[in-house]
Homo-oligomer: A and B are copies of this chain.
Amino acid sequence: MWVYEKKLQYPVRVSKCDPHMAKLLAEQYGGADGELAAALRYLNQRYTIPEKIIGLLNDIGTEEFAHLEMIATMIYKLTKDASVEQLEAAGLGPNYAQRDSALFYTNSSGVPFTAAYIASKGDPIADLYEDIAAEEKARATYQWLIDLTDDVDLQDSLKFLREREIVHSLRFREAVEILKDDRETKKIF
């Protein structure tokens, strides 16, 4: 189970109201390679992965929920002072018609999140390559999001998230090597 701590993993600051950037950030909220997909993927794999990898999945899965909360906070801060006209101009008219300025788990095109984005195979090597791919895809998206804004405060938070994905990718690669070593050891004895 999880205990909520009333703080963000890393501070989220934005320099200006920017609903268009909020629209694009939805990609990491409810998109294919976003934080929700990541958290759900890793926590679900815990039940069939070899025991020595469970802790890693648990730690990273839990951290991804903290990232999801950071993204939510960014979207909220970027839109909370926007007028209806600003939302419209930012391409968020459909979101306003549907839910005022509330958040939702869609990608940046407005397509609702689906578990079809993620995989669970019960094969440790397949699961871990799925995870490495996920981190590499998220890393790429964070780079593009950083490129899309000139808000240095927002960039700072996004850079933190991009760095975390790189670290996660490395840790999943190490996990592949650990499992491969185990297999070879077993074959010898």
Contacts and interface: CB of A to CB of B under 8 A. Distances in A.
How many copies of this chain sit in the oligomeric assembly? 6
A120 B133 contact: no
Query: Looking at A113, A118, A133, which has the most chain B CB atoms within 10 Å of its CB?
Result: A133
Question: SS class of chain A's interface: helix, strand, loop or mixed?
Answer: helix
Interface string A65-102: 11001001101100000001000100101111111111
B62 A98 contact: no
Interface in A111-141: 111-123, 125-127, 129-130, 132-133, 136-137, 139-141
A148 B93 contact: yes
A107 interface: yes
Contacts of A126: 133, 136-137, 139-140
Given A99-B122, A121-B136, 18 more contacts: A1-B8, A2-B2, A2-B5, A3-B5, A3-B62, A23-B94, A32-B98, A32-B119, A33-B98, A97-B108, A104-B115, A106-B115, A109-B109, A111-B111, A114-B114, A116-B116, A129-B137, A130-B133
Q: Which 4 A-B pairs have the closest CB atoms?
A: A109-B110, A102-B122, A100-B122, A94-B108
